[in-house]
Amino acid sequence: MKILITGGSGFVGSNLAISLSNIVGYKIIVFDNLKRRGAELNLIKFNELGIEFIHGDIRCNDDLETIGEIDLIIDASAEPSVLAGLESGHRQLININLIGTINLMDLAVKRNAKFIFLSTSRIFPIEKLNKISFEEQDTRYSIINKQNITGVNQNGISEFFPKNGPKSLYGASKYAIEVLIEEYTEFLGLQAVVNRCGVIAGPGQMGKVDQGVASLWVARHFWKKPLSYFGYGGSGKQVRDMLHIDDLVDLIIIQINNFETCQKQIFNVGGGNSSSSSLLELTKICQETTGNKLEIKSVNEDRVADIRIYISDNNKIESVLNWKPKKNVSDIVIDMFSWIKENEGSLKNIIG
């Protein structure tokens, strides 16, 4: 099987490429424009593993035309930052996440290739997420079972949560692709699966503000750099679930092997309650793991597009594919700390 991974030198893409390359019968092709700092660090490893690398941009059809026959496209390419779409560069975000992905869908149809799309939990509207009923506990906000909104309970947010309402330009671009995938599957014969991922974290993730709270928190604790609790009174009690990259890789492998079972379906995919954390709780884990304690500033003002709680309800994906995450937040922090420590020399000027 020939598998094309777009955004394949990024955090998610490179982990997928390296893991899938170890499976007998899989030929992996990585496609990436190497825009993000640190992406180039994976090229040596790709060469060692016999992974083919193509330097190109999904926004450019001429670049995509250089790709020969393929059996599967895994789209891990994206402008992943909510902030990028709100503060600047919204056109670039739309061109990558919308136009670029449409180009990939057309390529999949043309090559008769299957398509796995990595979407985001950010497709759900901000205002409705912040209207979820909750209770304040000592270290976190918690979802209560009685709700006035469909698609949410103590397990988290399910696929049935309302979609109407502003989501951020990032979330909207991803949701637009979800809608188009439905049309492509119905009228153009696209074979597709959609995974709405929450926070993905683990070794190999560059700890930037726009690339996931877990990586940022671990990197800042490692290098003793400042952090702040933004919004919701500056309490640090806002909660996200976190999915270890290894668990996502395991899921993708299961989906490849059971594609007929899960095609034309959309799944919420995350760490779930068992791998969720508030910022306060994450700080404690980072302190215990790194041995470093930071003075963290409290900023009361809420930021645009911030949410109080998001936890993925994995019930659908668990029931359809018998998959559930194996690793929790502590595992994520420990694995990221070990990776940074091992590669400190090459990473110190790139992450954190």
Distance CA 90, CA 75 (A): 20
Give the model's confidence band at 304: pLDDT under 50 very low, under 70 low, under 90 confident, else very high.
confident
pLDDT score at 151: 98
Residue range 268-287: mean pLDDT, rounded? 98
What's the chain's average pLDDT?
94
The answer on pLDDT for 61 being more than 90 is yes
Out of 99-103, 121-125, 201-205, 268-272, least confident range: 201-205
The answer on pLDDT for 36 being more than 90 is no
pLDDT tens profile 151-168: 999 999 999 999 999 999
- Tell me the domain boundaries of the chain: 1-124+167-197
Q: What does the block give as tokens for 307? A: 């949410």
Distance CA 315, CA 156 (A): 10
The answer on pLDDT for 132 being more than 90 is yes
pTM, entire model: 0.95
Distance CA 32, CA 55 (A): 5
Nearest-CA neighbor of 201 among 247, 258, 142? 247
Q: What does the block give as tokens for 336? A: 């990221």
Which helix (H) or strand (E) segment holds residue 263: the answer is none
Nearest-CA neighbor of 13 among 95, 121, 116, 122? 116
Extract the runs of DSSP E, i.e. beta strands, from the chain.
2-6, 27-32, 52-55, 72-75, 114-120, 134-136, 141-143, 152-153, 156-157, 191-197, 199-201, 227-230, 239-244, 266-269, 276-278, 296-299, 309-310
What single-letter DSSP state applies at residue 302? Answer: P
Distance CA 167, CA 146 (A): 24
What topology does CATH give the domain 1-124+167-197? Answer: Rossmann fold (3.40.50)
Residue range 12-21: mean pLDDT, rounded? 97
